[in-house]
Structure 1
């Protein structure tokens, strides 16, 4: 009687254990969060729609009254020196060669060094697609004029050398990419601090690009949206690969020596 009972318990408990193991494997299986794709597509649609609206009247799109008011409020005149102190120059360099070296060389190289090659491929893809597909392609298609001197009204053009095309702000696109791409490298529990830092980077970049009269306010706002949205879509595409990297440290190699190493 006892043997039969124990056999019954043993046989009935084994399938439940197997089921639990299978359930654990299913729950741990990498997935692509649909919210990333939806948010990215909505944001990219808004970016494209605004670009199309600007292209219909590049001299005075529907946001021009707001852009003019913001420029009059924030834009600096030449010779004040307000554009060359540490904080605005930080954002200036972030969207130029130093920022490109950081985002397209140093960060991907470090990710390869710490054996997060999936993350490195994601980061490079986001940078290339965003900076060339979103920023440069749109600049050439829309070709919105940058703010120009209007000395009689106390308004001035760019205080630094710039290329053609005001929409979108390439600096802003790069910032949108950076904020979302770095968030994608972090497991969910560790993203809060970065989102706060990212919000400060976004606000600072919009401020700096309009402070130096390099862009209209709408160029910077939609530049952030375009860069961030494209990166959200790429994050969704790479999500299952990125999740495999979350157990690996970002700032040091994992050195896990077996407890019995050297015992033999």
Structure 2
């Protein structure tokens, strides 16, 4: 094995270890919040942040009316309809690109993240905030935030897996940055609109991001086994493209 091959393997292993560490860190934060939530009491920072987004006299959201409209629109990016359309759009792109294995992984990741969120909501059964008025209607329980968790699980999974099929670093960075930005805005909108405690959103981000990272690591594993196509190659099978610096394909043995 040449020196360049050794460096490629080392970078790949560092990425995998870093991904596992991030997923573990997110799960630890989620577990810590869940432990507090089991007491069915809002955390101190929940009250502070929620009230900080309200005016002192009439409990309206801070900012001019257009800000409220903006966050109402942004929160729709975490709705089931929008997430389903985004997922189907990406799956369609992957099928056209002859990446059926990656498309199936995307579908499983999004559906699995949604089912996990529903199970967590049923288990914790936390009431919605009653400290401020709700700007939009809600039907489910509060912890973890479904919009925050499922948008993280969906957009981050889509971003990370789409980045896996890109050969240029600037495209990968852009895709992942957009996914993170949308996920962040959706979560903030839920607190601004008064329908979630900040801890709900933080827990949703942590659980959803951890799920997305685990799906990304699964994609790396499957690419090494040549069960889905590596970056720069259409269809499944042995890699023939040049190794990528940040997400190198496994050398053929």
Contact 2:27 2:206 in 1 (8 A): yes
Which residue does 2:127 correspond to in 1? 145
Is 1:34–1:236's contact at 8 Å kept on the other side of the alignment?
Answer: no
Paired with 1:114 and 1:25, the residues of 2 have a C-alpha distance of 31
CA distance in 1, matches of 2:232, 2:77: 29
SS in 1 for 2:187: helix
For 1:104 and 1:201, locate their aligned partners in 2 and report how far apart those are by CA, in whole Å: 14
Report the alpha carbon displacement of residue 65 of structure 1 after superposing the two structures with TM: 1.8
When residues 206 and 25 of structure 1 are mapped into structure 2, their CA distance, relative to the original with a 3 A threshold, is closer
- Kept after mapping to 1: 8 A contact 2:72/2:193: no
Q: TM-score, normalising length from structure 1?
A: 0.70
Structure with higher Rg: it is 1
Per-residue CA deviations over 1:186-245 (Å, capped at 9, x if unaligned) read: 147232223432343233123210111110111111211110101111211221335734
TM normalised by structure 2 equals 0.73
- The answer for the alignment partner of 1:98 in structure 2 is 81
Q: Within 2, Cα distance between the matches of 1:74 and 1:145?
A: 20
Give the CA RMSD over aligned residues.
3.1
Number of residues paired by the alignment? 217
State the SS of the aligned residue for 1:202. helix
Q: 2:93 matched to 1:117? A: no
Matches of 1:113 and 1:209 in 2, distance apart?
35
1:43 is aligned to 2:22 = no
C-alpha distance 162-40 of structure 1, shift in aligned 2 (>3 A): same
Moved runs in structure 1, 4+ residues, more than 4 A?
Answer: 23-28, 80-84
1:199/1:97 CA distance change after superposition, 3 Å: closer
CA distance in 2, matches of 1:176, 1:97: 13
Q: Which residue of 2 aligns with 1:74?
A: 53
Correspondence 1:47-58 to 2 at 5 A: 47-55=30-38, 57-58=39-40
Asked if 1 retains the 8 angstrom alpha-carbon contact of 2:156 and 2:180, the reply is no
